[in-house]
Every structure is written in C-alpha cells, then in structure tokens.
Amino acid sequence: MQLDRIDRQILDILRRDGRITYQALSEQVHLTARPCQERVRKLEQAGYIRGYHADVVLPQPEGVVVLAQVALGDKLGRSAQLAFEQTMRDCAEVEDCWLVSGEFDYQLRVSCRDLAHFRELSGSWLDDARFRIARIVSSPQLQQIKLGQR
C-alpha cells in the first residue's frame, strides 16, 4: 500500500492521539468522516496501525531496575535465539527485551526485588544450556531522567 500525504497525516495524528474521534480526525485532514474512517481501516489492515494503547506512567518500582546486555555464544543456531526470546517473554521480571546489533545480541530492562534477585535470575539464564550465554553486562538504574513516549 502506497501512503499519500493524507495517510501520513492520519498516522501522525493517531500516533499522538489514538482516542480522537473520526469526526475530529476527518476535520484535521480535510475529509468527510466516512472516507477518513475507510482510510484508517485500510491502514489497520495493511499493518501500519497495529493497535491503540493507553500512555500509562507506572510508579517507580520498588527494588532495582537493571539494564542488561546479553551476548549469546558463537555459532548458535536460530533455535537458541528463539528459546532465549521465549524465555524473556515468559519472565515477569523482564520488562523490555530488544534484539540489537553490535557486540551484544540483546538489551534487557529487568525489574527485580534487589541485586541478589537479579544475580539469581541472570545466573539461571547463564546455567541454561539452550542459550550458552557468552556474557551478561549489567547496569543498575540509579534514577529515571526521561521516560520516552511510545
């Protein structure tokens, strides 16, 4: 699907305000409500709009947040990567997990009771033979300076 100027405007407006009414959206992009609604549905079907979310600010967690970089062992197949990713999805303490390029394979944000809890958790990952993790470099979060908007 080729995006025209109006499609891009719609995406920009919805990115900032996912709760806008079709009437208000249509007025901003200079269309009537029905064609505007049809464009939004086409953008959803094409995968440009994957969902609508609330912008939630959570209280600072009790305990510690650790940013961790994980490098899997060399010459591991796709199965090790898939197993690691599923384990991260299933782990309640892992708030974010990103596949990254460079020296490390993954960037994690992990919320734990304390550093001993993180050490226990990361130790279980190191002990898991499916991953053969080469190394984990971790940095405890000291203070949140800015929370990005999604």
- The Cβ of residue 131 has, within 10 Å, a number of other Cβ atoms equal to 19
Q: State the Rg of the chain over Cα.
A: 21
pTM value? 0.61
Render pLDDT for 85-123 as a digit per residue (tens, 0 to 9).
999 999 999 999 999 999 999 999 999 999 999 999 999
Mean residue pLDDT across the chain: 90
Q: What kind and span of H or E run contains 67?
A: strand 64-72
* Phi, psi angles (nearest 5°) of residue 66: -120, 130
Confidence at 148, pLDDT banded by 50, 70, 90 = low
Task: Kindly give the interhelix angle for 33-45 and 5-16, rounded to the nearest 10 degrees.
Answer: 80
Q: What kind and span of H or E run contains 140?
A: strand 133-140
Give Cα separations from 29 to 16, 21, 50, 64, 126 (angstroms).
Answer: 14, 12, 21, 45, 53
Confidence at 7, pLDDT banded by 50, 70, 90 = very high
Render pLDDT for 24-59 as a digit per residue (tens, 0 to 9).
999 999 999 999 999 999 999 999 999 887 777 666
pLDDT of the residue at 76: 63
Render pLDDT for 121-132 as a digit per residue (tens, 0 to 9).
999 999 998 888
pLDDT of the residue at 1: 82
Calculate the CA 76 to chain-centre distance: 24
Specify the DSSP class assigned to residue 102.
Answer: S
Q: 3-state class of 25 per DSSP?
A: helix
Helices (H), the chain: 5-16, 22-29, 33-45, 78-90, 115-127
